[in-house]
Amino acid sequence: MNGKVALVTGAAGGIGAAVVRAIAERGGVPAAVDADGVALKERIETLATEGLRVEGFTADVTRRDEADTTVAAVEARLGPVDYLVNAAGILRLAEARRVSDTDWADTLAVNATGVFHMSQAVVNRMVPRRSGAVVTVASNAAGTPRKHMAAYAASKAAASMFTKCLGLEVAEYGIRCNLVAPGSTDTPMLNSMWHDDSGREATIRGDLAAYKVGIPLGKLATPQDVADAVVFLLSEEAAHITMHALTVDGGATLGV
């Protein structure tokens, strides 16, 4: 990845931040994008103390104009974008029949429309160069029903199929588009689902009443586990892989 420019959205979050770090450690040049400018600045400063170069860009991926201007700014400052990682995401929990219009719209806006905006903004610049790789961080919930997660699961399913269709259409230009589908990952998003200290063990053990098996490997994923999968799919080691979903969930969806 030496010298390659990688635009990463959701870069202040758990998985996004781990992806930024992994790319920087491998000699890439991450363009870290997040709507939370304060948290993004803190992340970048931490990496800078470790001697890692990261450039920050504050943007709301739900806005078409901000997506377009941010990609233009990244390329003006750093050069052509070689990789795009769509890692921005939010979670709003509610029963499917009780999801509010606001939570539904917000979830789809970030998790699906954000992928749509950023992918178009970046890939339309990759096409003339006939090279590039895109990885969208989806979820194992995109293909497995979960109680109280209808909006999230629907948004990730939409982002997943958009990414695969995009990959089919741009394969002729040498551009690869893949997915990483994490399961329960030790991030603030997961922690927000827990009501007390028993949440971690309950997640690993599973909940038969909610039709949710546990995690066969007996542990949560770390953000680094997910980041390693993202980096693999970006890299030349995955040069003949496109439209693929790599599930990183410790076996929680039983390989289905």
Domain ranges of the chain: 5-185+222-247
pLDDT at residue 199, as a whole number: 81
AA letter at 152: Y
pLDDT at residue 91, as a whole number: 96
pLDDT at residue 245, as a whole number: 98
pLDDT, one tens digit per residue, over 48-75 is: 999 999 999 999 999 999 999 999 999 9
User: Hey, which residues are catalytic here?
Assistant: 152
pLDDT at residue 189, as a whole number: 80
DSSP symbols for 99-153: --HHHHHHHHIIIIIHHHHHHHHHHHHHHHHT-EEEEEE--GGGTS--TTBHHHH
pLDDT at residue 114, as a whole number: 98
pLDDT at residue 186, as a whole number: 87
Distance in angstroms (rounded) separating the CA atoms of residues 247 and 181: 5
Fold of 5-185+222-247: Rossmann fold (3.40.50)
CB burial readout 29-48, b (16+ within 10 A) else e: bbbbbbbeeeebeebbeebe
Task: Walk along the chain (256 residues) in steps of 10 and give the mean pLDDT of each run.
Answer: 96 97 98 98 96 97 98 98 98 97 98 98 98 98 96 98 98 98 87 76 88 94 97 98 98 94
pTM for the whole structure: 0.95
